[in-house]
Every structure is written in C-alpha cells, then in structure tokens.
C-alpha cells in the first residue's frame, strides 16, 4: 500500500460508514464488563483475533472465531479483541457476537469516525469499543465515552504519543491503550509504552498494545505499570494457542 496508511484507511472507512443504519440498541446494559476484567493484582491478557493486517499480510484465513476464543479462554485470557475492519484487516462485525458466545468480554476494534459505528458495535455485542485519539479530538472522545456509558460499554482510547495522550485525558478516558506500532510506518517499539505510562493519570487502566511476544515482554510492561497487554499476531500463529497465552504470564 502506497502513501500514508492511516489516511488511506480513514478515507475508505468514510465511504463504508455512509450506508450504515442508525441502530438503537435499546435495553443493552453490559455493566462495564471489560474494565472489570482488567482490574486486579496480576497483569491481564487481551487476546486478539484478526484475519490479516497491512503490516503482516494474511495471518489466519477465515478464522474459526469460536474455537480460537475458547483456546484463548483456556489459556487464561481475560478478554477477547476482535478486529472488525473488513477491507485491510479482513474482519467482520459478526465475529463480535461469535467471540462473545464463550463468555469473555469482547473489545471491538475498528477505525471509529461516526457515532453509528458505536451503536452498531453495541448492538453487535461488544463490551468495549476502540477509540483512536489519532482520529478524534478530546470533545469527540468525551461524547463517544458518554454514549457508550449509557449502555455500560467501555471505551479503550488508543494513543501513540504524548499529544494523543493529552487528547485522551482531556476526553475523560478511563482505559488508555498505548500502541507500540506506528500506524504510519509500522515500526514497533515497546519503549513507547514505557515512556507514555509515566504520563498517565493515577487510576487509569493502562493497556499496552503491539509487539508483545514473550513473557519477558509482558513482565517488562507490568513493571512499567500496565494492567493489561493486548496480543494478537504472535498468538494467532501458534499451533497451541491456549499454551501460548499461558506462557505469556508464566
């Protein structure tokens, strides 16, 4: 893919959301299950299911979502992350309910630029929805969190640098994820999480994302104050995914 990846995918997302219906998930109340699952003394694993990514190419063709989610659950994962973006990540919003059928809270990851995406995610069964501080200013983040709070659904606000962290804090984010992968050139550095963690407010649930492959990586991030890590590609490529999840916290 040529040019700036983030700008390209946002442009295509705008085209995709034009035809989204306005959904009313009346009666939904998820009681902030995602946030609850990430609290506690030990570091938590959010295990991700995705079919592909621009940086890695095809990872799992037509994944058996329920089977993978059960493997992650057996390994001790506290939550499941589902990448639903259909074009560049080959995901599907239908996977949210399929993953949720095993009983763990599910984070829906897409490039959210419209409130209709939030409502569709809630209706699909998400316990949490990703908000990118690279795409939303503080006011939009605050509005999105308020909308989700009405359904007991959490927002994981993702940042890549201190400027985006300021937006997340200004928007009232209670769960902040630091993506160690630069979405513009795909370089990964765990030091990004370590540098940003020290700037986060007390009481915020801290999640480290991308580039996490070993128990040493997890321990490094735990020592930096993170409550959870989100791991995808390195788990998906394993034959025994349950053991791979378990090995991360061994």
Catalytic positions, written as ranges: 48, 50, 109, 158, 179, 209-210
Query: Tell me, what DSSP letter sits at residue 153?
Result: -
Q: Which tokens belong to 221?
A: 């991030």
How many CB atoms within 10 Å of residue 176? 24
- Distance CA(214)–CA(211), nearest Å, equals 9
- Distance CA(166)–CA(157), nearest Å, equals 11
- State the maximum Cα–Cα separation within the chain, in Å, rounded to a whole number: 46
- Distance CA(168)–CA(113), nearest Å, equals 15
| Contacts of 96 by beta carbon, 8 Å cutoff, 6+ apart | 82, 84, 106, 108, 121, 124, 125, 126
């Amino acid at each position: 893919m040529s040019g700036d990846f983030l700008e390209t995918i946002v442009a295509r997302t705008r085209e995709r959301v034009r035809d989204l219906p306005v959904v009313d998930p009346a009666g939904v109340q998820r009681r902030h299950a995602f946030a609850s699952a990430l609290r506690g003394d030990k570091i938590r694993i959010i295990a991700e299911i995705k079919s592909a990514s621009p940086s890695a190419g095809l990872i799992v063709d037509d994944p058996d979502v329920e089977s993978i989610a059960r493997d992650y659950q057996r390994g001790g994962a506290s939550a499941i992350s589902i990448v639903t973006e259909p074009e560049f990540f080959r995901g599907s919003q239908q996977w949210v309910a399929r993953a949720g059928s095993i009983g763990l809270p599910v984070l829906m990851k897409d490039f959210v630029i419209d409130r209709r995406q939030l409502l569709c995610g809630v209706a699909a069964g998400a316990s949490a929805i990703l908000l990118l501080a690279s795409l939303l200013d503080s006011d939009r983040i605050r509005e999105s969190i308020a909308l989700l709070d009405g359904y007991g659904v959490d927002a994981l606000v993702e940042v890549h640098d201190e400027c985006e962290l300021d937006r997340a804090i200004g928007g009232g984010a209670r769960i902040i994820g630091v993506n160690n992968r630069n979405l513009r050139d795909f370089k990964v550095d765990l030091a990004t999480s370590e540098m940003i963690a020290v700037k986060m407010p007390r009481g915020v649930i801290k999640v480290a994302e991308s580039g996490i492959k070993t128990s040493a990586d997890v321990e490094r991030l735990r020592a930096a104050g993170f409550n959870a890590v989100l791991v995808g590609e390195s788990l998906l490529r394993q034959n025994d995914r349950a053991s791979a999840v378990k090995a991360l916290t061994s």
